[in-house]
Amino acid sequence: MGARAWGVGFTRGPLRAVAHRAGHGYKRDVGDNGVGFGEGFRRILETWNDPRIGERIDRLSRANLNAFGFDPFGYSPDYLKRVLPAVAVFYRHYFRVETHHIDRVPTEGRALFVANHSGQLPVDGAMIGTSLLLDLEPPRILRAMVERWVPTLPHASVFMSRCGQVVGTPENCRALLEDDEAILVFPEGSAGISKTYDRRYQLQRFGYGFMRLALEMKAPIIPVAVVGAEEQAVSLYDWRAAARLVGAPAFPITPLTPLLGPLGILPMPVKYHLLFGEPLTFVGDPNDEDGRVGRHVRHVKNAIRGLIEEGLRVRKGVFS
Amino acid sequence: MSQVVLVTGISGRFGRLLTRHLHRTHTVLGIDRRPFPEAPRDVTLYRDDIRSRKTEDVFRTHRIDTVIHLNVMHNPREMGEGAHRFNLVGTRQILEHCERYHVQKLIVLSTANLYGAGPDTQRYLAEDAPLLGGSRSALGRDLVELDMLCSAFFWQHPEVETAILRPVHIVGTVLNGPSNYLRLPRLPVLWGFDPLLQLIHEEDVCAAVLAAMTPGARGVFNVAGPPSVPLTEVVRRTGKPRVVVPHLLWGPLMKRMFSAGLWSFPADQLDHLRYSCMVDDSRVRRELRFTPAYDLDATLEPFRGGPPGAASRRS
């Protein structure tokens, strides 16, 4: 890829001034492509010190918090306020996340976000969650469902629970939807996130649990497509034996593995596109046979597939 | 004629506390192997094992209206045949006596630890949640079985009004895991873990037991105090220094120290320093009109700062 992929878009030239003046409310010009090192650093500092980020956390609903500012799952807006500037730096300047159709996201009431999963490390979930905090009006907290072994990891357990993430058991999902929260699930699970590069943007088998949950709780489903995450870590081969040995769901070998070892799965600065679909409402018996529930699941899967295709069409390159 | 209340395990710290609340308004009988030197005069104390024949004599000779069963070993130093038999056989006998001698009311103090703290523990467990806390230790299994025994009794004998209370971590003068933990001069926390905790003051547990004595109160009740808060916040509010320990090193070491009597925090409650286990107490608030009187700072008051070592020697 040439200069075009690395450093164009409306962040450079006369269009940038227009974009700036048009000022999409909170969102400034998208991305840092093609700025000098000093300018880039200045912008990172600006995001880091941006008081508006804290203000947006203050505007989040505090309905389900107890007297000490914690919700039943350990989520704490005060903690989130402290870490969000760092996440925002990654969101705006490293992955330069661009959202599409975020106006389709319901700003209140229960909602089940369903997204494709990719990128070896679960950055996609973090970026979807951050987009609702930084780019949605009014901001909203999204509760991502994580694997059961995450709380067994030191520090990760505290970080994930304080930021509002929850272990993805059916009981927890039900409790959150009951409280009219928005939750995020990846029905592909680890099959999606650890797939090799040759299967990029191919949706893996979807679990049916999320659909039964949506039917039971009468929660609208918001399909989300993440475009860009597939290229953040290029897995050439999934070394299953090694994965079993260390107890991980996958052991991806990337082009950077010979150089960096296990750190080869760290994400490269790809550009993220997040595409939100129209909310879908399904009615039916949550305990119905797989065949009938499967039809609804395929409907959601097709919606996500459509959004992925749209994202691949609108993006100019992997890094821009 | 005042009601006759039999308290098993009356000489424990919690039994004594409860007696002080009860003896003016009720006729209190007590059974315990341990002495209760400063017992109020109007309390009749039987120094017996609850498994002995004499215990049945107490039931036979008095018309007992209410039995409050506290005589359960929650944190024995060595877990062996002794504690197992004491807890299960003793409780079974008490249940049989309650049935045979037409006791109207039975209150059992179980614990919310039975739900078990694990990485995927669901949040705000209701009374019907599975009791998974027994998978780690023999004692845990016994306590789960004990709770089940009483629940079965509740269903099989509707003529006895049975209330099973499952309070969260009780803190105060009692000698249980959480209180012993808070009495340590330096509070150990696990590196990289900060679970949410629910604490309840012992006086509030007393109030819950008294609330459960009202006619009509039956079933299983989770009892909780002030809202849940992270462990580090609890430590901060006690004003004591905190020691950060990696859990891999911590677990085996603590188990040894506990069984050797060098350490007063029971090792099987280690999971509660790592994972959250919180209960939904809406049922007790709604049906028994119970509201905890002590807020978090009042609950932690006895453990505040102080000279290191002074408090921990007691245990």
In a domain, A194, yes or no: yes
Pick from A72, A149, A154: CB nearest B119: A149
Provide the sign of the torsion angle of the four alpha carbons B126, A210, A149, B194, taken in this order: negative
Question: Any idea of the CA torsion for A202, A208, A213, A218, to the nearest 10 degrees?
Answer: 70
In a domain, A259, yes or no: no
Pick from A74, A152, A154: CB nearest B119: A152
Using CA atoms, how far residue B33 sits from B9, B38, B44, B71, in Å, is 8, 15, 14, 10
pLDDT of residue B268: 67
pLDDT of residue B289: 93
Cross-strand pairs, A182: A111, A142
* 3-class DSSP state of A251: coil
In this predicted structure, the answer to whether residue B309 has a pLDDT above a threshold of 50 is: no
DSSP notation for chain B: -PPEEEEETTTSHHHHHHHHHHTTTSEEEEE-SS--TT--TT-EEE---TTSHHHHHHHHHS---EEEE----SS-SS-SHHHHHHHHHHHHHHHHHHHHTT-SEEEEE--GGGG---TTPPSSB-TTS---GGGS-HHHHHHHHHHHHHHHHHHH-TTSEEEEEEESEEESSS-SHHHHHHHSSSEEEETT---EE-EEEHHHHHHHHHHHTSTT--EEEEE--SPPEEHHHHHHHHT--EEEE-HHHHHHHHHHHHHTTS--S-GGGGGGGTS---B--HHHHHHS-------HHHHHGGGSS-STTTTGGG-
In a domain, A24, yes or no: no
In this predicted structure, the answer to whether residue A19 has a pLDDT above a threshold of 60 is: no
Cβ B125 vs Cβ B222: under 8 Å: yes
Which residues on chain B place their C-beta less than 8 Å from a C-beta of chain A? 119-120, 122-124, 190-196, 226-230, 233, 246-247, 275-276, 278, 296
**CB contact (8 A) between residue A148 and residue B119:** yes
In this predicted structure, the answer to whether residue B205 has a pLDDT above a threshold of 60 is: yes
| A46 Ramachandran zone, left/alpha/beta (phi>0; psi -120 to 50) | alpha
The amino acid that residue B75 corresponds to is: N
Which of A152, A166, A172, A173 to substitute to test the interface with B, most B CBs within 10 Å? A152
- Rounded to an integer, what distance in angstroms lies between the CA atom of residue B35 and that of residue A294? 67
In a domain, A94, yes or no: yes
**CB contact (8 A) between residue A67 and residue B193:** no
- Rounded to an integer, what distance in angstroms lies between the CA atom of residue A123 and that of residue A286? 31
Which of B122, B247, B274 to substitute to test the interface with A, most A CBs within 10 Å? B122
- How sure is the predictor about A32, in pLDDT bands with cuts at 50, 70 and 90? low
- How sure is the predictor about A13, in pLDDT bands with cuts at 50, 70 and 90? very low
Instruction: Give the pLDDT confidence of B135-172 residue by residue, as tens digits.
Output: 777 788 888 999 999 999 999 999 999 999 999 999 99
Instruction: Give the pLDDT confidence of A53-103 residue by residue, as tens digits.
Output: 999 999 998 888 999 999 989 999 999 999 999 999 999 999 999 999 999
In this predicted structure, the answer to whether residue A29 has a pLDDT above a threshold of 50 is: no
- Rounded to an integer, what distance in angstroms lies between the CA atom of residue A177 and that of residue A216? 10
> What's the CATH number where A205 sits?
3.40.1130
pLDDT of residue B177: 85
pLDDT of residue B272: 87
Which numeric CATH code is attached to B4-314?
3.40.50.720
**Cα B200 from chain centroid (whole Å):** 11
More confident residue, A320 or A17: A320
Using CA atoms, how far residue B294 sits from B150, B200, B224, B311, in Å, is 29, 8, 11, 21
* 3-class DSSP state of A168: coil
Q: How many helices (H) and strands (E) does chain A have?
A: 13, 9
pLDDT of residue B248: 76
* 3-class DSSP state of A157: helix
**CB contact (8 A) between residue B124 and residue A153:** no
pLDDT of residue A33: 60
Cβ B86 vs Cβ B70: under 8 Å: no
What would the two tokens of residue A217 be? Answer: 């709780």
| B253 Ramachandran zone, left/alpha/beta (phi>0; psi -120 to 50) | alpha
Instruction: Give the pLDDT confidence of B41-99 residue by residue, as tens digits.
Output: 899 999 988 998 899 999 999 999 999 999 888 776 665 677 788 889 999 999 999 99
In a domain, A20, yes or no: no
In a domain, A68, yes or no: yes
In a domain, A221, yes or no: yes
Ranking A32-46, B21-35, B136-150, B260-274 by mean pLDDT, the lowest is B260-274
Containing structural domain, residue A144: 35-232+267-314
In a domain, A10, yes or no: no
Task: Give the contacts of B108 (CB within 8 A, at least 6 positions apart).
Answer: B69, B91, B147, B150, B162, B163, B164, B165
In this predicted structure, the answer to whether residue B262 has a pLDDT above a threshold of 80 is: no
In this predicted structure, the answer to whether residue B315 has a pLDDT above a threshold of 60 is: no
In this predicted structure, the answer to whether residue B264 has a pLDDT above a threshold of 80 is: no
Instruction: Give the pLDDT confidence of B210-255 residue by residue, as tens digits.
Output: 999 999 999 999 999 999 999 999 999 999 998 888 877 777 777 7
Residue A148: list chain B partners with CB under 8 A.
119-120
CB pairs under 8 A between A and B: 57
Pick from B119, B191, B278: CB nearest A151: B119
In this predicted structure, the answer to whether residue A314 has a pLDDT above a threshold of 60 is: yes
Pick from A72, A149, A152: CB nearest B124: A72
* 3-class DSSP state of A220: coil
- Rounded to an integer, what distance in angstroms lies between the CA atom of residue A144 and that of residue A128? 9
Whose structure tokens read 């197992």? Answer: B84
pLDDT of residue B76: 66
The amino acid that residue B273 corresponds to is: L
**Domain residues of chain B, as ranges?**
4-314
